[in-house]
Chain A
Amino acid sequence: METQTIKDINKTTKATERISGSEAIVRSLIEEGTEIIYGYPGGAIMPVYDELYKYQGKIHHVLTRHEQGATHSAQGYARISGKVGVAIATSGPGATNLITGIADAQIDSTPMVCITGQVFSHLLGSDAFQETDIVGISTPVTKWNCQVTKASDIPAAIAKAFYIAKSGRPGPVLIDITKDAQIDELDFFYEKCTQVRSYNPIPKTDASSLKAAAEIINKAKKPLIVWGQGVILSEAEAQLKAVIEKADIPAAWTILGASAIPTSHPLNVGMVGMHGNYAPNKLTNECDVLIAIGMRFDDRVTGSLSTYAKQAKVIHFEIDPAEVDKNVKTDVAVLGDAKASLELLLPLLNEVKHTDWLQEFKDLYEIEYEKVIKNDLYPTKEGITMGEVLKEINIQSKGEAAIVSDVGQHQMIACRYADFNVTKSNITSGGLGTMGFGLPAAIGAKMAAPEREVVSISGDGGYQMTIQELGTIFQQKAAVKVVVLNNDFLGMVRQWQQLFFDKRYASTEMVNPNFVAIAEGYYIKAKKVTKREELADAVAEMMASKEAYFLEVCVEKEDNVFPMIPTGASVSDIRLE
């Protein structure tokens, strides 16, 4: 096959300017509305940095402390703003360091454009210094990628990258640009990409499937909605709210769907999945119609597939045809964008009440409250629980903060107990479960939405995977509130060791440094809390701070997260203790 050239070059007669490839990269980013990019310089990307120096009034480059941090920051930026996040790195190790973030963005459908420098095109394949086949390496974890070896291909490649990253089911895109393409000149003009001939981002919504879905929903006695991030990505929050209110349907969320409907909404029945709420998990196997909206039936959501919602008719609203029938066989699939589909569904639904069915959720909530929630939020034992910290943050934030969590026990607690009254407020690594995601993602989120309170919540393990990004917080004066819930353990793994490996705590106990001193080393205000009496004031002080603030809370060492559906078990077998 011949070398790919970008085919969508527009043949208009617009005025062009003779500029370098590297300037074209920066100008193209500006054309796409990019204001902030995250990255790390190096040999093969230096011409671009030289242009960023010249364009620093128009585009702000954030020097992270590691390229992985750049991708997570770009993800945080994208997740809170709905815009495309941009990360940039040099060739070789700079490029490979992006991979974890790219894989994370791929599985969590986050729009991100990554630009990597590459060695001169005449050196490709020669094992040159810092040469790596990043296009080959990133292929399985990108929505699309390409290598550009000619300066004149740059604008169209970037236009295509942004279009693909953002449209349809979003995802990460990588463009690898050789150094000669950056140095050579081209006639620059920029045309946004609005179409790629082989790519159909939003499948057509079929009216008959919508009608079939509405008929099933209207006949349902015990309908249950499970919504995912698709609702947030298509900004269908109002449409979802209208649907659940009109048809009086209890609605539960996947971890990435959190915050699309406020926590306080009476029809919001909580989180599904391994550490989700008792009622929606249990009642998944009691409902007569399961309506999945913009979610993908991840194994952490379904538990054992052979015992998942077998009694129910399944309706799946989905933008990605490959997700339909992938894990759960559907009775009716409604392809298309969630917002448009729900808008069309609403007038087809009957206004009904499901009072008895909703009571079942309330009854099960009471059980969960007595067995789990009460002890998490209002403990009587001596040690501080993670739940208490979230409760204090809720009080101070009025449920309006964006909560950026890392991965592990604290993440489950944060998602379970944080009040989400504003959409796009739960930024976490759901699909990939990337420890180290939280701190850099919080930086990106804060910079994208400086008006919002952004609270990063990490465990002592994940925090230390990207702890160097404290330097980015300091340098950028990003007013991120950084909370570490420290139990001196890799808590989630330890919990599994306790439950499934006879308490053999292999390599999960952490001997931790003086976290306060480290934060202070970066000139970040810091405090450590070890006693319950100090907690409320410390959280209040942190939340009141106009600058970045670090708060370490030493929590009970061996607390477990419940409820829990053990791996491979049925959602019906959710354990409360």
Chain B
Amino acid sequence: MSTEKQLYTVSIYTENNIGLLNRISAIFQRRHINIESLNTSPSEIEGVSKFTIVVNMDEVNIKKILGQIEKQVEVIKAYYHNLDDIIYQISGLFKIKSELLFEERQIQNIIKESNARIVTVNKDFFILEKSGKKEEIVTLYNQLSKFGIMQYTRSGLIAVTKEEMKISELLETYNN
């Protein structure tokens, strides 16, 4: 098992519970593990939520963390994956002065080459959205920052796995 640190996603299927975020984040906090990103959303199963947490850890310890997470009463199942085992996306939003769109021709090229999407334009600003790997969004940020970015934000990573998750089957076995 790898003792080298790398980025892992932890996917946690849970009941939709108001206190669970606190309970799960405390597991990381107590062990002084920094959460790189965190996303919660509904999952493919009605009434089941999914956390996607990105951490930089070694495999030995991430397995222990997983045990602690699965021990929580309202956690159904937790998985960890390295980035090769998942399909993931991160989204970045950029707010830029509208005048730059017309004054700086290079910006138009950047938008085109990066496959970024203009979400909205008004007379003061336009909003650019880019989904992809973190590096792609960082590259776009670096390209745009020299022109001045009014606001910038990046979402947490969301992912689906290449392997099957079988949560519904698992819930069946718990119920029988």
- Which A residues form the contact surface with B (CB < 8 A)? 1-4, 7, 135-136, 139-140, 143-147, 164, 195-200, 320-326
Cα-based distance from A95 to B68 in the complex (angstroms): 26
Shortest C-beta distance, A500 to chain B (Å), equals 26
Query: Are B26 and A139 in contact, CB atoms less than 8 angstroms apart?
Result: yes
Assess whether B175 is interfacial by the CB under 8 Å rule: yes
- B18 touching A136, Cβ below 8 Å: no
Given the known interface contacts A197-B174, A197-B175, A199-B74, the answer about A4 and B30 at a Cβ–Cβ threshold of 8 Å is: no
Can you give 25 contacting A-B residue pairs, CB < 8 Å?
A1-B16, A1-B18, A1-B20, A1-B21, A2-B18, A3-B18, A4-B19, A136-B22, A139-B19, A143-B73, A145-B19, A147-B18, A164-B73, A195-B175, A197-B76, A197-B171, A197-B174, A198-B14, A198-B74, A198-B75, A198-B174, A199-B73, A199-B74, A321-B71, A324-B67
Inter-chain CA distance A300–B41, complex, in Å, is 41
Which residues of chain B come closer than 8 Å to A320, judged between CB atoms?
Answer: 71
Residues of B5-56 contacting chain A, CB below 8 A:
14-23, 26, 30, 40, 49
Q: Using CB atoms, name the residue of chain A closest to B77.
A: A198
A446 to B63, CA, bound (A): 42
| Smallest beta-carbon distance A411→chain B, Å | 26
- With both beta carbons as reference points, the residue of chain B lying nearest to A7 in the complex is identified as B15
Cβ-defined contact, A322 with B73, below 8 A:
no
Please, which residues of chain B bring their CB within 8 A of the CB of A326? 64, 67
Select from chain B the residue with minimum beta-carbon distance to A322: B67
Could you tell me the distance in whole angstroms from the C-beta of B77 to the nearest C-beta in chain A? 9
The smallest beta-carbon distance between A502 and chain B, in angstroms, is 32
Minimum CB–CB distance from A197 to chain B (whole Å) comes to 6
Inter-chain contacts of B15 with A (CB < 8 A): 7, 197-198
Nearest-neighbor residue (CB-CB) of B176 within chain A: A195
Whether A322 pairs with B64 at a CB distance below 8 angstroms is yes
Contact A4 B18 (CB under 8 A): yes
Q: Tell whether, in the assembled complex, residue A2 and residue B14 are in contact, meaning their CB atoms are under 8 Å apart.
A: no
CB distance from A431 to the nearest CB of B (A): 15
Q: Are A1 and B175 also in contact (CB < 8 A) when A139-B22, A322-B67 are? A: no
Alpha-carbon distance between A2 and B49 when the two chains are bound, in angstroms: 11
Most chain B C-beta atoms within 10 Å of own C-beta, residue among A1, A136, A144: A1
Bound CA–CA A277/B102 (angstroms): 82
- Nearest-neighbour CB distance to chain B for A513, whole angstroms, equals 39
- The answer, yes or no, to whether B70 is at the interface (CB within 8 Å) is yes
Most A CB within 10 A of own CB, among B14, B17, B70? B17
> In the complex, which range does the number of interface residues on chain B fall in?
20 to 34
Q: Which residues of A contact B23 (CB under 8 A)?
A: 139-140
Given contacts A147-B18, A195-B175, 19 further A-B contacts (CB under 8 A): A2-B18, A3-B18, A4-B19, A135-B19, A136-B19, A139-B19, A140-B23, A144-B73, A164-B73, A195-B174, A197-B76, A198-B15, A199-B73, A321-B71, A322-B68, A322-B71, A325-B63, A325-B64, A326-B67
A280 to B19 alpha-carbon distance, docked (Å) = 43
Q: Is the CB of B67 within 8 A of A321?
A: yes
A195 to B172: give the CA distance in the assembly, Å. Answer: 12
Nearest chain A CB to B52 CB, angstrom units: 15
Bound together, the chains give a CA A323 to CA B67 distance in angstroms of: 8
List chain B residues, Cβ under 8 A from A7: 15
Query: How far, in angstroms, from A1 to B24 measured CA to CA in the complex?
Result: 14
Q: With A139-B22, A199-B73, A322-B70 in contact, is A4–B16 under 8 Å at CB?
A: yes
- Smallest Cβ-Cβ distance to B173: which chain A residue: A200
B residues in contact with A146, CB < 8 Å: 19
Cβ-closest chain A residue relative to B29: A140
Closest to A144 in B: B73
> 8 closest Cβ contacts across the A-B interface?
A322-B67, A198-B76, A144-B73, A4-B18, A199-B73, A322-B71, A140-B26, A4-B17
Of all chain A residues, which has the CB nearest B20? A1
Question: Min CB distance, B39 to chain A, in Å?
Answer: 13
Name the residue on B nearest A324 (C-beta): B67
In the complex the two chains form, what is the Cα distance from A143 to B49 in whole Å? 20
Q: How far is the CA of A200 from the CA of B76 in the complex (A)?
A: 9
Shortest Cβ gap from B155 to chain A (Å) = 18
* Contact call A140/B73, Cβ cutoff below 8 A: no
**Cα(A2)–Cα(B18), bound, Å:** 7
Residue of B nearest to A141 (CB): B26
CA–CA, A199 and B174, complex, Å: 7
Residues of B close to A136: CB separation below 8 A: 19, 22
| Residues of B contacting A324 in the complex (Cβ-Cβ under 8 angstroms) | 67
Contact in complex: A2, B16 (CB < 8 Å): yes
B17 to chain A, nearest CB (A): 5
B47 and chain A: residue at smallest CB distance: A7
Between B21, B63, B71, B75, the greatest number of chain A beta carbons within 10 A of the residue's beta carbon is seen for B71
Q: How far is the CA of A136 from the CA of B14 in the complex (A)?
A: 19
Chain A contacts for B26, CB-based, 8 A:
139-140
Residues of B within 8 A of A323 (CB): 67
Closest to A169 in B: B71
Question: Which partner residue on chain A sits nearest B69 by CB separation?
Answer: A322
**A147 to B: closest C-beta gap in Å:** 8
**Complex formed: what's the CA distance from A326 to B63 in Å?**
9
Residues of the A chain whose Cβ atoms lie less than 8 Å from the Cβ of B70: 321-322
**Contact of A1 (CB < 8 Å), options: B40, B63, B71, B171:** B40
Residues in A neighbouring B67, C-beta threshold 8 A: 321-324, 326
Is there an interface contact between A140 and B30, defined as CB atoms closer than 8 Å?
Answer: yes
In Å, the complex CA distance between A322 and B71 comes to: 7
CB of B50, distance to nearest CB on chain A (Å): 12
Q: What 0/1 readout, one digit per residue, does chain B (61-104) give for beta carbons within 8 Å of chain A?
A: 00110011011011110000000000000000000000000000
Question: When chains A and B are docked, how far (Å) is the Cα of A325 from the Cα of B61?
Answer: 10
Interface centre among B15, B75, B76, B175 (most CB of A within 10 A): B15
A426 vs B75: C-alpha distance when bound (angstroms): 34
- Find the A residue at minimum CB distance from B48: A198
Separation of A112 and B171 alpha carbons in the complex (Å): 27
B64: chain A residues within 8 A (beta carbon) = 322, 325-326
Which of chain A's residues have a CB closer than 8 A to the CB of B30? 140
Interface residues of B in 136-158 (CB under 8 A from A): none
> How many whole Å from A509's CB to the nearest CB in chain B?
35
Chain B residues with CB under 8 A of A139: 19, 22-23, 26
In the bound complex, CA of A195 to CA of B14 (Å):
16
Shortest A422–chain B CB gap in Å is 32
CA distance A140 to B25 in the complex (A): 10
Q: Nearest chain B CB to A111's CB is how many angstroms away?
A: 14
Q: Knowing A321-B67, A325-B63 touch, does A196 contact B73 (C-beta < 8 A)?
A: yes
The answer for the CA separation of A326 and B64 in the assembled complex, in Å, is 6
CA distance A198 to B16 in the complex (A): 11
Complex CA distance for A197 and B176, rounded to whole angstroms = 10
Q: How far is the CA of A326 from the CA of B71 in the complex (A)?
A: 13
- Closest chain A CB from B31 CB (angstroms): 12
How far is A3 from B19 in the complex, measured between Cα atoms in Å? 9
